[in-house]
Amino acid sequence: MQAVAAEAVLPVTSRDQHAQVDAVGPGARVALNLAGIDHHDVQRGDAVVLPGQWAVVDVVDAALRALPGHTFARRGTVDVHVGSGEQRGRLRVLDDDGGYGRVRLSRPLPLAPGDRLVLRSSGAQATVGGAEVLDVAPARRTVDALARARLPVAARVFAARPWCTSSEFAMLAGRPAVAGEAERVADWLVTPEELSRVRARAAEMGRDGWPAITTVAAACRVEVAQLRAAIGDALAASPLDDPDAQKVLDALDAEPFSPPAPGDTGASPALVRALVRAGALVDLDGVIFTAGALAEARRRIADAVLDRGELTVADVRDILGSTRRYVLPIVNRMDAEGVTRRRGDIRIPGPRA
């Protein structure tokens, strides 16, 4: 599935054929003049979407409804009809009553909660029933997936992503957030319960003086920026106010996964220690990375290990374009965080992948 640019929209109607317009309403039959894509690359069922507006997924959890006289097999192959398209998929029923299931598509589609699927038996060529998409970011464990599917849509989104931006919420919920569903904290939407949890845990840790902010953030299970947004003035003044701080960060971010020693950038040991305490720098076994570099490494490793199923240190080295000296501390950190789990000489997905 790919997003393509529409140069013109041409409604095909008996009253006003071939008239160029800027917009049409639901139900209109139109022809699109698509730029930058060959007609052989487009097939029935493809969708024209704005980049980043939809979750393009190949696995969804859905509410199931069988037609009279039909039942869903616990596991099986089905033909899935979405919009004008059709593709082969796999259905796994999640509950004993057959009311919820996981649909695994053969190719990704832009989907949102509320979208409808028609499910047909691939063998008997008969319509078995339908499904309504509930969760486009389903949990890995069946018990979690089933519990989440039974929640209202906003609660499902925040169960999957406790801190999310407005655009992420709209993509995962299929609609914008409404008043009362969440609080806005800097760039994020977060439930009052989650915000209270983070603040209470942070206050407990800071009662006798603040430890390193990365330590507090890890204990609160949030990113450093999210922690700062949640507790604000409770934190001491940031060493990022030092004019030399940004020079250090820029120098390290120029080679994020093979950074120079901070001392080689002219930074004083005191400034480096302060930046580590503030969470802007992270010390991994004596190698100093910026927090941004570590976050990007975490994202790449998580994506790769989920996609491939397992990784070696050499794989991570290639993914990051670095050397073993820098990669080993990062891999060990991913093990400690639960992004990966070590099994002999390989890493497999961890619970926080």
**pLDDT tens track for 262-275:** 888 888 888 888 88
Query: Do 255 and 342 belong together in one domain?
Result: yes
Helix (H), strand (E), coil (C) string for the chain: CCCCEEEEEEECCCCCCCCCECCCCCCCCEEEEEECCCHHHCCCCCCCCCCCCCEEEEEEEEEEEECCCCCCCCEEEEEEEECCEEEEEEEEECCCCCCEEEEEEEEEEEECCCCEEEEEECCCCEEEEEEEEEECCCCCCHHHHHHHHCCCHHHHHHHHCCCECHHHHHHHHCCCCCCCCCEEECCEEECHHHHHHHHHHHHHHCCCCCCCHHHHHHHHCCCHHHHHHHHHHHCCCCHHHCHHHHHHHHHHHCCCCCCCCHHHHCCCHHHHHHHHHHCCEEEECCEEEEHHHHHHHHHHHHHHHHHHCCECHHHHHHHHCCCHHHHHHHHHHHHHHCCEEEECCEEEECCCC
| Beta-bridge partners for 348 | 341
Average pLDDT estimate for 315-325:
95
Query: Cβ-count burial of 192 within 10 angstroms (0-12 exposed, 13-18 middle, 19+ buried)?
Result: exposed
Query: Do 92 and 156 belong together in one domain?
Result: no
Torsions phi, psi for 165 (to 5 deg): -80, 170
pLDDT of residue 24: 79
The pLDDT confidence band at residue 138, using thresholds 50, 70 and 90, is very high
Average pLDDT estimate for 154-167:
94
Query: Do 62 and 94 belong together in one domain?
Result: yes
Across the chain, what does the average pLDDT equal?
87
**pLDDT tens track for 146-159:** 999 999 999 999 99
Average pLDDT estimate for 221-229:
90
Cα 328 to Cα 139: distance, rounded to the nearest angstrom = 29
Q: Which domain range does residue 74 map to?
A: 55-149
Inside any domain, residue 46 = no
The pLDDT confidence band at residue 81, using thresholds 50, 70 and 90, is very high
Instruction: Give the residue from 140, 106, 104, 129 showing the smallest Cα distance to 338.
Output: 140
pLDDT of residue 52: 77
Query: Do 346 and 255 belong together in one domain?
Result: yes
Which pairing describes strands 340-343 and 126-135: parallel, antiparallel, or unpaired?
unpaired
CATH number at residue 260: 1.10.10.10
**pLDDT tens track for 28-60:** 777 777 777 787 888 888 888 887 788 899 999
Average pLDDT estimate for 293-312:
92
The pLDDT confidence band at residue 232, using thresholds 50, 70 and 90, is confident
Residue 189 has pLDDT above 80, yes or no: yes
Q: By the 8 A CB rule, do 117 and 136 touch?
A: no
Number of domains within the chain: 4
Query: Do 117 and 90 belong together in one domain?
Result: yes
Query: Do 175 and 249 belong together in one domain?
Result: no
pLDDT of residue 45: 80
Torsions phi, psi for 169 (to 5 deg): -60, -50
Query: Do 140 and 59 belong together in one domain?
Result: yes
Inside any domain, residue 49 = no
pLDDT of residue 305: 93
Cα 146 to Cα 93: distance, rounded to the nearest angstrom = 10
Cα 146 to Cα 265: distance, rounded to the nearest angstrom = 52
pLDDT of residue 215: 81
Query: Do 272 and 189 belong together in one domain?
Result: no
Average pLDDT estimate for 232-251:
74
Query: Do 32 and 73 belong together in one domain?
Result: no
Residue 8 has pLDDT above 70, yes or no: no
Cα 232 to Cα 226: distance, rounded to the nearest angstrom = 10
Residue 230 has pLDDT above 50, yes or no: yes
The pLDDT confidence band at residue 5, using thresholds 50, 70 and 90, is very low
Answer with the one of 201, 236, 271 that is the final residue of a domain.
Answer: 236
Query: Do 315 and 255 belong together in one domain?
Result: yes
Cα 182 to Cα 282: distance, rounded to the nearest angstrom = 31
Average pLDDT estimate for 179-194:
93
Inside any domain, residue 322 = yes
Query: Do 220 and 168 belong together in one domain?
Result: yes
What tokens does 270 get? 């005191």
